[in-house]
């Protein structure tokens, strides 16, 4: 049995001083994960006793941000710790953490994105090691795209400028198109356009299509993109309204994931659909009690205009099924405050109609440190959607089970044979500073998860061939 530590060496580019730091990753007192070095009393506990992917990411970030003058970082990982993950996993997630270490959001009056990666090289590596290390960089860059989008304020990033920012990325192997107000009104996007009508800014439906030759199957990823959510006529309390620029976190995650999927050249077709609106109060805005005809011709009674995201998602989910017939349909949204109340910042909630897809999503979340917790739909939650004036209501006046009620509403727009899951990431897009890789601002939550889910589905497909 090999008793030697796993030793990995990283070189930081563009440094003048030739300085090497040798660091040791061990289990310290009380079994906490500890980084220390030979030449000083530096000693840092990383996080928790159970070593997870999140800890590997944080180790990479920590050593890069602590030893900023070192040209070379040599990390020696105790054999007992190293054995808990495959070598390629260590390399991918250490690379991810290292690459994030130079990122600081800097405000600009331009919607264009400027994600900055720290430039590290893996030394003494073979081809498979280098591939894993480069994949970590791809994931870091993709997550930073999502973080840049969610960090932008609402006066700079609105539906049209969101499209322009993504166009400027010029992602290889991605075909970009969009629908504007006139196109969506003509096609009958009653739900999405009912939310957009209160704003002076036009809505957009952005489509990113990654279509390799002979794809094994098709996945559609749908993201909620409310670039600012005032609550509309049912206006929000002012305490947290400034953070409502992150209500397009689902759409940002879809863009980040499509970037990663295209760069990793996954052998499947992936369509990213971002429903982009601004939810504002005005004389034109939708009101509680109004009835809206959705894209699938369902008449929906509005209970509160602050439950806008599900109206956007419902139309886009229907559009995705009608136009692309995906094998798997996934939506992600900062949808309900109830998810954060129930799960805090430990998990996003997960709901859907296919147990196998739900299980794959949970596995993916665990594998990339963006975990999910399943919740129910249907049953008693259907009662909350019963309306005296329309086919159904879009929510309830009561907060009870709000994530489940919202998902049950969305399920009404899913065809019976369509495999679908819904991810409510409301608490996960901001304020995750218990993680070292997220010291400030937004997280880009969902980018890794959606990418990993697609990879899990590919593995499943290979096993069943």
Residues with catalytic annotation? 236, 310
Residue 282 CB neighbour total at 10 angstroms: 12
For residues 431 and 347, the answer to whether their CB atoms sit within 8 Å is no
CB atoms within 10 A of CB 123: 13
From residue 99, how far is each of 10, 59, 122, 133, 143 by CA, in Å? 11, 12, 12, 10, 11
Tell me the C-alpha distance between 125 and 316, whole Å: 45
Strands 348-352 and 372-374, bridge-based pairing = parallel
- Gap between the Cα atoms of 180 and 205, Å rounded: 7
Structure tokens given for 67: 């030893």
Calpha distance 438→183 (Å, rounded): 39
Q: Positive or negative, the Cα torsion across 314, 319, 320, 321? A: positive
Q: How far is CA 434 from CA 29, 34, 231, 430, 439, in A?
A: 21, 16, 29, 11, 8
Angle between helix axes 447-463 and 355-368 (nearest 10 degrees) is 120
150 close to 444: Cβ distance less than 8 angstroms = yes
Burial class from Cβ neighbours inside 10 Å (0-12, 13-18, 19+) for residue 22 reads middle
Q: How far is CA 406 from the centre of its chain?
A: 19
Q: How many angstroms separate the CA atoms of 273 and 394, rounded? A: 22
Contact 310, 335 (CB under 8 A): yes
- Cβ 10 vs Cβ 69: under 8 Å: no
Enumerate residues 6+ apart whose C-beta is below 8 A from 111.
152, 156, 157, 161, 162, 164, 165
| Contact assessment for residue 47 and residue 55, using Cβ atoms and an 8 Å cutoff | yes
Task: Give the Å distances, CA to CA, from 162 to 92, 243, 441.
Answer: 30, 17, 19
Q: Which of 312, 305, 306, 252 is nearest to 277 (CA)?
A: 312
């Amino acid at each position: 049995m090999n008793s030697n530590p796993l030793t990995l060496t990283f070189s930081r580019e563009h440094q003048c001083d030739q300085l090497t730091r040798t660091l040791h990753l061990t289990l310290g007192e009380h079994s906490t994960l500890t980084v220390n070095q030979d030449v000083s009393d530096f000693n840092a506990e990383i996080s928790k006793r159970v070593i997870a992917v999140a800890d590997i990411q944080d180790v990479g970030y920590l050593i890069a941000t602590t030893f900023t003058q070192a040209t070379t970082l040599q990390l020696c990982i105790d054999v007992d710790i190293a054995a808990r993950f495959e070598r390629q996993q260590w390399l991918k997630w250490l690379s991810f953490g290292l690459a994030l270490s130079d990122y600081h959001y800097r405000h600009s009056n331009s919607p264009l994105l400027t994600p900055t990666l720290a430039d590290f090289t893996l030394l003494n590596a073979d081809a498979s090691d280098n591939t894993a290390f480069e994949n970590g960089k791809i994931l870091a860059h993709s997550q930073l795209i999502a973080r840049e989008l969610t960090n932008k304020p609402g006066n700079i990033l609105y539906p049209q400028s969101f499209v322009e920012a993504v166009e400027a990325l010029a992602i290889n192997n991605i075909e970009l198109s969009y629908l504007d107000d006139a196109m969506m009104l003509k096609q009958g996007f009653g739900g999405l356009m009912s939310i957009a009508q209160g704003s002076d800014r036009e809505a957009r439906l952005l489509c990113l299509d990654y279509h390799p030759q002979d794809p094994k199957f098709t996945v559609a990823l749908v993201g909620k993109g409310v670039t600012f959510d005032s609550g509309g006529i049912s206006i929000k309390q002012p305490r947290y309204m400034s953070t409502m620029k992150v209500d397009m976190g689902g759409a940002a995650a879809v863009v980040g994931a499509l970037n990663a999927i295209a760069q990793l050249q996954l052998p499947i077709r992936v369509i990213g659909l971002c429903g982009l609106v601004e939810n504002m109060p005005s004389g034109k805005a939708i009101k509680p009690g109004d009835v809206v005809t959705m894209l699938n011709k369902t008449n929906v009674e509005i209970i509160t205009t602050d439950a806008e995201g599900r109206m956007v998602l419902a139309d886009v989910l229907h559009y995705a099924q009608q136009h692309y017939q995906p094998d798997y349909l996934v939506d992600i949204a900062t949808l309900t405050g109830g998810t954060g109340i129930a799960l805090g910042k430990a998990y996003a909630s997960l709901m859907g109609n296919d147990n196998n897809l739900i299980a794959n999503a949970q596995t993916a979340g665990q594998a990339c440190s963006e975990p999910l917790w399943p919740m129910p739909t249907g049953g008693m939650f259907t009662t909350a959607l019963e309306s005296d004036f329309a086919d159904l209501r879009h929510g309830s006046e009561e907060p009870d089970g709000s994530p489940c009620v919202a998902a049950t509403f969305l399920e009404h727009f899913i065809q019976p044979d369509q495999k679908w899951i819904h991810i409510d990431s409301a608490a996960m897009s901001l304020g995750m500073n218990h993680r070292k890789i997220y010291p400030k601002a937004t997280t880009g939550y969902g980018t890794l998860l959606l990418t990993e889910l697609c990879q899990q589905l590919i593995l499943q497909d290979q096993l069943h061939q």
